[in-house]
Copies of this chain bind each other. A is one copy, B any other.
Amino acid sequence: MLIKAVRTFEKDQTKGDITKISNIAKERKMSNPRVVDGTIGALYNDDGHFFAFKSIDNVIDKLQDIDKYPYAPINGGAIYQTQVLQWVFGPFLARVVAEKHLAVCATPGGTGALSIALYHYLDINETLLIPDLNWPVYEHLAKEFGINVSTYHLFRDDCFNIEGFIEAADAIVKKEGKLVTIINNPNHNPTGFSMTYEDLYQLGDYFKRLEEENIPVVFIYDVAYIDYWDYQNGRKGLNIVCDYGKNVLTLVTFSASKSFGIYGMRLGALIAINQEEKVIEDFRTWSTVACRTRWGTPNRIALSIFNQIVTNKEDRDEFMSELKKAQELLFNRSDFFIRKVKEYNIPIYPYQGGFFAIIKVQDSLHLYEYLKDLDIFGVPFDSGFRLALSSMSIKDIDKTLIAIRQYFEIYRM
């Protein structure tokens, strides 16, 4: 007799275990404030304090009891659904609404959106396609739901590897007759890479070929870092992926964590876009049950904050000026970072924007240990070492890159 969970897991490995490494860094920093913590996927000020939006605090002060404490509508309610679309699609919304059917479901962060999407569009032992450089939670998610993972090299000569994508996708399609893939864009985690519009069009061409073969595609477009590129560029990619053919169900996963600095409040959305109303109707039905049976309702206070910020001009203006400051804080760091890696001849993967950049290094665990001894923390990935520019001051970045330059001088073959 053994009381054991039906689905268990090995103990976590160090590589890619961001939470574990982040906890080590945090503990070290408690006793020594000079520790550099480049592990945190949240925006921190240069003084090491969390970047909080005063405008959000002001909104909380104004909220009534019923905006905070009662249950919320399961899918987020009409205001949230409308306003999330407006926020995410911006100037392109009118066209998308005119040409497609859409549905929106509130979720706890981008994670909640990804979680229900994968569970509902992939059966056990079916395959999810993601790049080799990816947010480790994608793989944990797949494992949790008994889904296989197939990967392709994200880059070929530092450009999006469309050939690799197609080759891996074709193999899945041949076996399973369908394709489900996640693309995290713009400002991909862990690299900061943003695909070109041409890349996105080429994906569309490939999906068109699949349409001729009657192959359905669920294209999950994870825009968690959309607000840390320039506004127009971030949204324009969305406009392209909403134009994919009728065999493609585009699922946009939105996270309010980074855009609004409310990481711990767990707010996000899963947005479904397709030409066929019945595909969207199916989405509405299953997503309501999925949310009801996982977390009950979204977090009401987070919904109220979002709704108030985006619909009230005064609050919105105040928030937008703070968001601009947040973006500038990050842009200054990434400018400095890019300048220094060039100067120091440190190899990195292409970075366009977002919270993370990644050093090209094969033995990333070795670099991790080397830097750890110097009280500098980042996260080792399979073929790179990730630094969270979001949580590092320019001084931190400088210190870290000097150490990495030394590392390469010692160990580069």
Which A residues form the contact surface with B (CB < 8 A)? 1-9, 11, 19, 41-42, 49-50, 52, 56-57, 60-61, 65-66, 68-72, 74, 108-109, 111-112, 115, 119-124, 126, 137, 140-141, 143-145, 211, 214-218, 247-249, 257, 261-266, 274, 276, 279, 282-283, 285-286, 289-290, 292-302
The CA-CA distance from A137 to B292 in the complex, in Å, is 8
A3 B214 Cβ-Cβ under 8 A: no
B120 A266 Cβ-Cβ under 8 A: no
B69 A56 Cβ-Cβ under 8 A: yes
The contact of A68 among B140, B265, B295, by CB within 8 Å, is B265
Enumerate chain B residues within 8 angstroms of A293, measured Cβ to Cβ.
111, 115, 137, 140-141, 144-145
The CA-CA distance from A211 to B141 in the complex, in Å, is 35
A264 B295 Cβ-Cβ under 8 A: no
Enumerate chain B residues within 8 angstroms of A5, measured Cβ to Cβ.
120-121, 282-283, 286
Copies of this chain, count: 2
The CA-CA distance from A112 to B285 in the complex, in Å, is 20
Enumerate chain B residues within 8 angstroms of A276, measured Cβ to Cβ.
3
A122: shortest Cβ distance to chain B, in Å? 7
Enumerate chain B residues within 8 angstroms of A285, measured Cβ to Cβ.
8-9, 11
Enumerate chain B residues within 8 angstroms of A19, measured Cβ to Cβ.
74, 292
By beta carbon, the residue of chain B nearest A285 is B9
By beta carbon, the residue of chain B nearest A42 is B70
Enumerate chain B residues within 8 angstroms of A72, measured Cβ to Cβ.
264
The CA-CA distance from A289 to B39 in the complex, in Å, is 19
Given contact pairs A3-B274, A215-B1, A216-B3, A264 touches B68 in the complex (Cβ within 8 A): yes
